[in-house]
Amino acid sequence: MEMKEELLKTNIVSSAYWFDKAIFLFRFKTARAGKYLVKEGMSLYHVIQMLKSGNQTEVNLVIIKLRVKEDLARKFSKLFEFDSLQAIQFLSNNDSLKQFGLDTNTLLAAVIPDTYTYYWNTTPKKVFRKLVMEWEKFWNDERKSKASNLNLTPIQVSTLASIIDEESNYTPEKSTIASVYLNRLQKNMPLQADPTVKFALKDFALKRIYESHLSIASPFNTYLNIGLPPGPICTPQPATIDAVLNAPKTDYLYFVANSDFSGSHVFTTNYPDHLKKAKEYQQAMNKQASIRKINK
């Protein structure tokens, strides 16, 4: 019996003889599949009762930020009984996702960063179903109403939020950044969001986007395509979703990182002013690169 060997090997059970006696006495035949936590000093009686009752230890799925479904599949496989191949097969199957109103492009919209509790032997479908259920709870009537007022669906709001999360870590400005993108959508202008180019290239380490990068043929490239990409480019933060839903009314159409590298941005309403601020930022970037080169 593999279970007995494991208990003996880890010194949880000191004697095979007494273990055999105990399982006979308690009429214990087969342990329910699962993950069990055996605490130090736990009696043989309590070990057998735990295994017999199937009183599993719960595992926590912690979602912070994921960019692609393969990242989610790897997280699944590290925690659960099923492997990464089973996970990615489920997440790459539109027939599997259709029942949740999602597809392979939009599934990350339903993955709200948080901590989720499961049992180790939960199936991929049940793991994902719980994520979707929490996503549906998040999208209450108030949020749905605000999305509707923006002429966006919840998935589209999540998609825009994901772009903003990849664009900036400076929380105080996320609503203002949202207003820029919302204004562009309303005017049928391309979003021209650099993070979508990184996503299209699947090169998330890129520090600067050059002209040569902008021609990548992909529905996620918002330089070539007008409107939102077909799904999120990362798991959007709840606070950023709310930043989109509560974005202020502005006339801004452009923004660029501040040349002081504070993480803040300079917002403008016209292209000539934007070009001026963009040039200042590029000059600051070039100067910083030169300093790094000299110091090497």
What Rg, from alpha-carbon coordinates, does the chain have? 26
Q: List the chain domain ranges.
A: 2-53, 58-138, 141-252
For residues 183 and 191, what is the distance between their CA atoms, to the nearest angstrom?
9
List the pLDDT tens digit at each of the 296 positions of the chain.
555 565 555 555 555 554 555 555 455 555 555 565 555 555 555 566 666 555 567 889 999 999 999 999 999 999 988 999 999 999 999 999 999 999 999 999 999 999 999 988 889 999 999 999 999 999 999 999 999 999 999 999 999 999 999 999 999 999 999 999 999 999 999 999 999 999 999 999 998 888 999 999 999 999 999 999 999 999 999 999 999 999 999 999 999 999 888 889 999 999 999 999 999 998 988 887 777 667 66
For residues 285 and 67, what is the distance between their CA atoms, to the nearest angstrom?
26
Which residue pairs from 79-84 have beta carbons closer than 8 angstroms and sit at least 24 positions apart in sequence?
Answer: 79/118, 79/120, 80/118, 80/120, 80/121, 80/122, 80/124, 80/127, 81/33, 81/120, 81/121, 81/122, 82/123, 82/124
